[in-house]
Structure 1
Amino acid sequence: MTLQAFLNYWCSLDWKHQLRHLAQYLLIALLLVLVVPFGMFPEQPLVRLSYWFSVLSIFGMAMMPMTARIIRSTGAFDDFSRWSGIIGCVLFATIPMTFVVHAIEHWGWSLAAARMGNGQLPPSVSRDVAGMMQLFSQLTAINLFAIGVNSFFIIALDGLPTESKKKQLAGIRFLSRLPDHLGADLLYLQMEDHYLRATTASGTGLILIRFRDALNELSDYEGMQVHRSWWVARNAVTRLNKQGRKIELLMKDGSIIPVSAAYRKEVEDQLLGA
């Protein structure tokens, strides 16, 4: 599984995958009840089960998808190798998770104290900086284990990406920048100063990204640059009009896009050759 495939998976979880993950988190939580890691709640297995299942569910259902979207959209880990990128994602997601778990511990102890009285409970958890670092390291170990289990099941049940899956994921990083109402049926791009006007089958909108960076993100997408400030999707071109040395492209939505002399030969080779 590549880093990009890992990010794409966590960015596109549907309810079936979420249910499967919940079942995996329950199994992991049951294992942690038996192992009693870090000496947590040694005499209270039900509390241990509830604690670890809650921690794993919040991490897998909220923190990892949110982190994957941030990393994919910003390209922060583009230069990372597969394993360093995946570990980096887990570490990045565990940072806010540490504060969430600390809040859960404090809130849970306060609620239990109100019902049972302080005398029946262990001392409340009070964490200084060192304590928060310890909690972070503990959660990192558990989260890495959980992600390893998730990845094993992903590969075992879904298999490695096929050619059809790879085709569906082409240009996914750029497409993820598009507002939801535009969909993902990309027709063409036009440069407007520091923005790009992206036109899809559902409409048009401005995106803050350099044209050069957009082309890099669409390198595996079936399209081509046809002008200094225009890019088109190949399947969105309905006709190529030639008037002497001048070439224009007629698009699905009726727009006419110019082809500059610098890109004339490439356009003719790709469109007329096809």
Structure 2
Amino acid sequence: MQDPLNDRLNTPRVWAADLAACAVAGAVLGVVGPFGSFFNDALPVRLAYWMAVSLLSGLGVGVAVRLVWPRARRRGVAAWTWIPAVALLVSGPLALAARLIAVALWPGIREAVDWVEWYGQTLLVAVVYTSLYVAAHARTSRGPGTAQAVEGGARMLDRLPPRLGRDLLCLQMEDHYVRLHTSAGSVLVLSPLARAIGQVGDLEGLRVHRSWWVARHAVRGVVHDGRNLRLVLTSGLEAPVARAKVAALKAAGWLDQEGP
């Protein structure tokens, strides 16, 4: 199945907006002159340097996030765990590119700033860029029916006992409780379903029924029973699909595969 997060991020409009924001950030950095660059040269040169570095950072971070984020969401990996890894991944090439530009403009910087300090500065910029990028796109990356309450974080995952792990497959409403299903079992917690959905963090999923929310990565197939549909999950559990939700699931690409 196609990933709607990739579809939303990989559009010319989103890329243009991202790079425009990077250019603005570069202009601000050029005026401020961080890391001692204020004393390197006149304002136009500083603007050119920092805008070039910011655009390169936006390209590097944008590509890396687009590769990692959808896969992390499908596996239920929290953003705070992979953002530092992405920053480490892109900071090496960015440090090399930025240093080559800086040395071309200011040859004396080769002796003034060693590689360790330069990499540290680049890593800081990469962490800030990656964190801001994910935060800016966190709301717009959610499709119809996905968890909307970013402020809820992933608190529902924190209510899973260690024996069940954190691979959340689905939420099932039972009276005033919600049953959290993982690949290792299930547990009941006291919570309305809507509140529980708002507390799954950035885990991608849909409310497929009045009593069910399902994580996208957990769907293994679809079973047709007359006019009724059920989603077959990786644990073997089957979640009913409300007829009113069928159109939304089709639009999201959830019904493109048959069950086992």
TM norm structure 1: 0.46
Q: Which has the higher contact order (CA 8 A, sep 6+)?
A: 2
Bigger fraction of residues in helix: 1
Choose 1 or 2 for highest CA Rg. Answer: 1
TM norm structure 2: 0.48
